[in-house]
Structure 1
Amino acid sequence: MMNRKLKKIYISCDMEGINGVCSDRHREMGNLFYEWARQQTTRELSTVISEFKKRGVEEFVVNDSHDYMLNLHIDELPEGTSLISGTHKTDSMMEGVDAGFDGAVFIGYHGRCGLHRAVLSHTYSDSIYHAEINGIWFGETTINAAYCGEKDIPVLLVSGDDVLADEVRRLATGTKSVITKYGISRSAGRMLHPAQVTGHYQKAVEEVCQSEIKPFRLESPYHLAITLREPQMVDIALRVPGTVRTGESSLEFSHNDYITTYRAFLAIQTLASGSYLK
């Protein structure tokens, strides 16, 4: 059984891993299929919240974690939910995480950058070509799970494609995966019927409540090794104190504190994204 009673859950909700989503036309605001994708995201999120509510969870804090982070509407979410919405958040996809949560859930997540079969794969932004922390090739699931682990919070459940499920297994924490689709390429996938995905969520939540799930932790010191897509991205990212250039398009950063390391990564990818020459 869980080593703690679940009463308050943090949910980070992305979009690329949602069932049916496979294109920029789905994930970018104003594009042809965005509104459908936004509604499908809300449906999957609401399913998870409802299933946990049936099992006694009383409070949910949802962090809209996709793109401009303005995709979810609070009036469309179940009662007992509060929503962190808006773009400028110091800790981005992990904004609002603190030791008061009994567990975390990642909805609509995706594979890490560089995986050919992971649908809409990237690691925080398309400026990142490859990223490692303490020698581990990481995606958003891993680096965000480590953030939660720093607060002693286990990641209970992660949803996304079958490629992402492998990254979840590598955490070795007992975290449950919900497969929403099967990757074919970065822009194509085999989608499951929504009723089947709902069943996967129901089964996973039931398993969470019957399982021992541990927080994911990395050992200090923390060492980032990042390859960016263009050399000029490194030129600008070196503005982050403590970064060291290690190649034409690569740099490193080390620190004894995880939150500082996480924020350094966010700053590096943000500066790199803004420096891209068109």
Structure 2
Amino acid sequence: MKIFISCDIEGISGVVTSGAHTSSDGMDYERARSLMTGEANAAIEGAFNAGATEVVVNDSHGPMTNLLIEKLNPAATLITGSPKPLSMMQGIGEDCAAAIFVGYHARMGAPGVLSHTISGARVANVWVNDIIVGETGINAALAGYFGVPVVLVCGDDIVSREAKELLPHVRTAAVKTAITRQSALCLPPERAQALIRQETEQALASLDSARPWLPGSPVTFKIEFKDSGLAENAARMPYSKLVDAKTVAFSADNYLTAFQGLQAMIALAC
């Protein structure tokens, strides 16, 4: 049983401040990436306890070189660095039995810790087939394209609620409770990791009841950018169209192609 883990940083317990915790030049970045590695290890251990024979972890934050490989559970393998064709989901495939998201955060505009969607500087909102989604939804659908269910989402209480609204079967591990966008009531690392380990074991024990989530075809992504200039730049993407001054849409026959269009439009927007 092969398990795929996508690990971001903003949803890690103890991580609450943009820059200081999330950027490589931040004052507390080294501590944050150590906490991130600890929560990834908890999911890895839980997966092996539940019968996994292989665990692949994809570093999914920023430059995607955050996880400390020297401290990672040696039974797992790590995908690190960027760019990657599938970005936060590099390593997902039909050979995976389940996907787990660690350190995830709520979508832009939600009252979660460090909430954003892909690019906090550019993106205001994203819809897939008129369903508003954050990174949890975008990436769950990419897993669904390969027939893989997301069985566990770990992060704050807001992303936990967001995940359950979209994926009724999913389990969640809320390792912190948002107070404001840059403050939270956090579980200490030992308790956060124990919770993730336990929820991983339980999620994989009930794998038979999990179902992949995939929007119907054709797939249309709409991106509302933060200003009209960003949208104008994104609209240089072939076959995209401006919906209004700040919103660009792109449609494709399948989710993978639509996802690639989403990524290209956001890259062009800068």
The yes-or-no answer on 1:26 pairing with 2:17 is no
Alignment of 1:99-178 (within 5 A): 99-115=94-110, 117-126=111-120, 127-178=122-173
* Residues 35 and 189 in structure 2, CA contact (< 8 A), matched pair in contact too: no
RMSD between superposed Cα atoms in Å = 1.2
SS of residue in 2 equivalent to 1:67: coil
Q: Structure 1 regions of 5+ residues with no counterpart?
A: 1-6
Counterpart Cα distance in 2 of 1:271 and 1:120: 24
Q: Greater shift after overlay, 198-207 or 15-24?
A: 198-207
CA deviation profile, 1:56-103 (whole Å, cap 9, x unmatched): 212111111000001113221112211111111121111121111111
Counterpart Cα distance in 1 of 2:188 and 2:72: 22
1:44 is aligned, of 36, 39, 56, to 39
Counterpart Cα distance in 2 of 1:182 and 1:104: 23
Counterpart Cα distance in 1 of 2:96 and 2:62: 24
* Residues 64 and 81 in structure 2, CA contact (< 8 A), matched pair in contact too: yes
TM-score between both structures, scaled by the size of structure 2: 0.95
Q: Greater shift after overlay, 263-272 or 196-205?
A: 196-205
Q: Structure 2 regions of 5+ residues with no counterpart?
A: none
The yes-or-no answer on 1:195 pairing with 2:208 is no
* Letter matched to residue 152 of structure 2: L
> Which residue number corresponds to residue 2 of structure 2?
8
Deviation at 1:110, TM superposition (A): 0.2
Counterpart Cα distance in 1 of 2:250 and 2:42: 39
Counterpart Cα distance in 1 of 2:217 and 2:23: 37
Equivalent pairs, count: 266
Task: Pick closer, same or farther for the CA change 1:76–1:199 going to 2, 3 Å.
Answer: closer
Percent identical across equivalent pairs? 35
Counterpart Cα distance in 1 of 2:236 and 2:200: 43
* Residues 46 and 198 in structure 2, CA contact (< 8 A), matched pair in contact too: no
TM-score between both structures, scaled by the size of structure 1: 0.92
CA deviation profile, 1:105-128 (whole Å, cap 9, x unmatched): 11100000111x211011110111
> Which residue number corresponds to residue 257 of structure 2?
260
* Letter matched to residue 14 of structure 1: D
